Amino acid sequence: MTVVVVETERLVVRPWTAEPADLARLFDMYSRTEVMRFLGTNPQPPTEPEQMLGMLERWQARGSRDGWYGIWAAELRATGQVVGTTMIKQLPGLDDRTLTDDIEVGWHLHPDSWGHGYATEAARALVEREWTHTDTELVHAVVNPANEASKAVARRLGMSYVGPRTDWYGGEPVDTFVLRRPS
């Protein structure tokens, strides 16, 4: 039975699994330079599909707030094709291990799924889930300063640019967008 985090008109957001199809899609996505170039200061694309199990374990171990937050697969409802990764989670602090109280919404899509509005749709559903079930006042998006496509997604979500920050992800400079809970 598949656990569903959120659903939209076109997407199902669900946990990544160790099933061969999920691991293959993860490897296909994260082994691509065009995906990894904006993820971290010195991104290291995986070179072997088996490395995906380690990635999934790290994502699961990073859990937060009783499992409410996570990093999940976004798949098309119509076909089951995974379009990418979406997340809502506590931001890591300067040591990149300790979790802060700041909440991040994010997305990484497979290049074959770019340009269809999937990142905006999945992120919007996760933010709505956050507003409905928590008392979180602000949701952040942190974006590599060179990633214009992700900045555009943040703006489509109605997020405001607040400038660069270096107090998350080990001090790596990131452009920060914020969305305030509607009143």
Q: Indicate whether 150 belongs to any domain.
A: yes
User: Is 50 domain-assigned?
Assistant: yes
In a domain, residue 114? The reply is yes
Domain that includes residue 68, residue range: 6-180
**Residue 161 located in a structural domain:** yes
CATH of the domain at 140: 3.40.630.30
Q: Which amino acid is at 129?
A: R
Q: Would you state the pLDDT for residue 172? A: 86
Is 57 domain-assigned?
Answer: yes
Domain annotation covers residue 1:
no
Q: From the centroid of its chain, how far is CA 86? A: 4
Q: Report the pLDDT value the prediction gives residue 63, as an integer from 0 to 100.
A: 61
The number of distinct structural domains making up the chain is 1
pLDDT the model gives residue 1 = 64
Ranges of residues in the chain whose predicted pLDDT is under 70: 1, 62-67, 96
Classified as helix, coil or strand, 35 is helix
Q: Tell if the pTM clears 0.75, that is, is over it.
A: yes
| 24: CB partners within 8 A, 6+ apart | 49
Burial class (CB in 10 A: 0-12, 13-18, 19+), 15: middle
Longest dimension (CA), the chain: 47
Q: State the amino acid at position 66 in one-letter form.
A: D
Question: Residue 175 has what pLDDT?
Answer: 96
At residue 66, the pLDDT reads 64
CA distance 131 to 114: 27
Sheet holding 99-109, edge to edge: 6-7, 11-15, 70-76, 82-92, 99-109, 138-143, 174-180, 160-165
41 lies in some domain:
yes
**What's the pLDDT at 151?**
97
